[in-house]
Homo-oligomer: A and B are copies of this chain.
Amino acid sequence: MHTAGDVRVEDRDDPKIIEPTDAIVRLTATCICGSDLWPYRGVEPADHTNMGHEYAGVVEEVGSDVKNVKVGDFVVGSFVISDNTCEICRSGYQSGCAHREFVAGTIGTQAEKARIPHADGTLVPTPGQPDEDLIPSLLAASDVLGTGWYGAVAAEAGPGRTVAVVGDGAVGLMAVLAARQLGAERIIAMSRHPERQELARFYGATDIVEERGDEGVAKIKELTGGLGAHSVVEAVGTQESTMQAIGATRPGGHLGFVGVNYDVTIKGIDLFFAGIHVEGGPAPVRRFLPELIQLIWDRRIDPGRVFDLTLPLEQAAEGYKAMDERRATKVLLTF
């Protein structure tokens, strides 16, 4: 991305092993994330930035210290590099790893190949070479599925719980899928787009709420005996969606927030009198990858359906445009 809104596909030298813990991955497919729209819209800076942070593909070369993956393995990696051995990683918060590095902006995986640092900690091999139709789902595990899943886990979605999901983008839809897998009793998708409502129902939503803001909160309360949802996932990152999510959570309930929220400010006293649990941030996708890969491998979940536009990498600029204009939920880029 040369500058905000200006995406170009250009030739670059092949990446090379730099550290003995690196691996080079030849990507099988890549994609555009909702968070890529922040620099596209000028909210985050962009200056000849290497874009993309989701990836799945085949290991082409490994550094001398790499032990857990080998050349030829099909791997999925998290959008955050982690060593997976430090104290923070071992506690399940790999996105706060002492060696963390964001793939976005530096490495950039909207490319044919990528150098992945800390390969042993970051990459997870699949049980074998995947069938073609599993590729989109495996790619989704890299961020959008892992992030939606984390949102639902942070919100403590589970049996007996009513879960409300604020946001019908790809991450919100994946949070619906996760809430269903985690055994939630009732899953309320907050959405006003007919196609996304349909996809939300496919992934497990039992109710749809079209209202937003205070009206949305009132509707959630109406559906939950006046109390609010046990679990709420915030998957947008705007001021309105954040306040909607806080308001929709019952006292003592859990809010998982995964929408990147640059323009949000929260009054301390609003959080104080809400009396809720809040957990969020960049998802520790690595924690969930082995389980998510297995669920996909066993065809028990189908996160790949979240891609509703497929383009060759050369047309990446059109992919950004389609997502920016909300003509596409999520764009798959092929080679």
Contacts and interface: CB of A to CB of B under 8 A. Distances in A.
Nearest to A88: B251
Contacts of A277: 277-279
Given A272-B281, A275-B282, A96 B265 contact: no
A93 B87 CA distance: 32
Interface string A216-228: 0000000001110
Interface string A89-119: 0011101111000000000000000000000
A69 interface: no
B261 A242 contact: no
B278 A271 contact: yes
A280 interface: yes
Contact of A88 (B250, B267, B269, B278): B250
Interface in A276-297: 276-282, 284
Given A242-B268, A251-B281, A275-B282, 6 more contacts: A87-B227, A257-B271, A257-B272, A272-B280, A277-B278, A278-B279
16 contacts: A87-B225, A88-B227, A88-B250, A88-B252, A91-B252, A93-B251, A96-B250, A252-B284, A261-B268, A264-B267, A265-B267, A265-B268, A266-B271, A271-B281, A273-B282, A276-B281
